[in-house]
Amino acid sequence: MKILQLNVWMGKVEGELKRFLENNKFDVICMQEVMSSENCQVHLARLCFDAEAIKQATGMPYAYFSPNWSSDIANGSFELGNMILSRIPFRSTMNTFVNGEYTEHTILEKMCSNNLNVQVVELENGVVIANHHGFWRSQPLGDEDTVKAFKHLAEIIQPYQDKPFVLCGDLNVRHEAPAMRELDFLRDLTYENGVKNTLSGLKFNGEVPCDHIMPNDKLEAKNFMVHEGYASDHVGISAEIEIK
């Protein structure tokens, strides 16, 4: 089972993102910063590569979207959040907030930062996948609030560790961050493969390996890959995982 982790940067780089998703085949994709709308989708699609366009580009039949906040636009609203796409049916889905809570009528310059949920899906093949956009601080080692958020994340996903499990996400920290010690019960494929950077350079300069694929000890992982390119301000990372 080939899994991709990608923060899509609100679908700002439409052509590159579309081509990347059409030309690369994955079984599961975990995304962050996905834009979606139920009541003004046509309008939103003129502004970004939104959730519906992403679904069409991947050709994946199963999708689970979990919004962090919504904002008003064109006599309707749009939401930003996380999305898991899959070629394998979902057996169950859930999401809960790690920090903050869902907010409506958000004004971007006044929005509360770090309203962050975690999604958890169990596939019909028995693999459990969690998708999370991590607590953000400008310093990639985080701070005490980052540790607190990651501690809560660990508490949420610990009950799934009796099953084959993988956490994917733009966690906004590097492996050496104190907050990552809360997740030491998982492997960090980004760290194990010596990845120095998962930013594309379109927004931020510098090297920060902030995107992670983290399986537990019930999964084998191989063929880890960094997908260099400009589909987003992040690059994609992928791996093949299978139940031991």
Q: From CA 119, how far away is CA 240, in angstroms rounded?
A: 20
Q: Is the pTM of this model over 0.75?
A: yes
DSSP per-residue codes, 10-31 = GG-SHHHHHHHHHHS--SEEEE
* pLDDT attached to residue 9: 96
Q: Considering its fold, how many domains does the chain have in total?
A: 1
| pLDDT per residue rounded down to tens, the chain (244 residues) | 999 999 999 999 999 999 999 999 999 999 999 999 999 999 999 899 999 999 999 999 999 999 999 999 998 999 999 999 999 999 999 999 999 999 999 987 776 679 999 999 999 999 999 999 999 999 999 999 999 999 999 999 999 999 999 999 999 999 999 999 999 999 999 999 999 999 999 998 889 999 999 999 999 999 999 999 999 999 999 999 999 9
pLDDT tens for 176-186 read 999 999 999 99
Q: From CA 238, how far away is CA 212, in angstroms rounded?
A: 9
Q: How far apart are the first and last CA of the chain?
A: 12
* pLDDT attached to residue 92: 98
* pLDDT attached to residue 108: 78
The one-letter amino acid code at 211 reads D
* pLDDT attached to residue 61: 98
CATH of residue 174's domain is: 3.60.10.10
* pLDDT attached to residue 17: 98
pLDDT tens for 103-118 read 999 987 776 679 999 9
* pLDDT attached to residue 139: 93
Print the domain residue range for 124. 2-243
Rg (CA), the chain: 17
Neighbours of 232 (CB within 10 A): 27
* pLDDT attached to residue 112: 66
* β-strand partners of 30: 5, 84
* pLDDT attached to residue 109: 75
| CB contact burial 141-175 (16+ within 10 A = b; e otherwise) | ebeeebbbbbebbbebbeebeeebbbbbbbbbbbb
pLDDT tens for 212-229 read 999 999 999 999 999 999
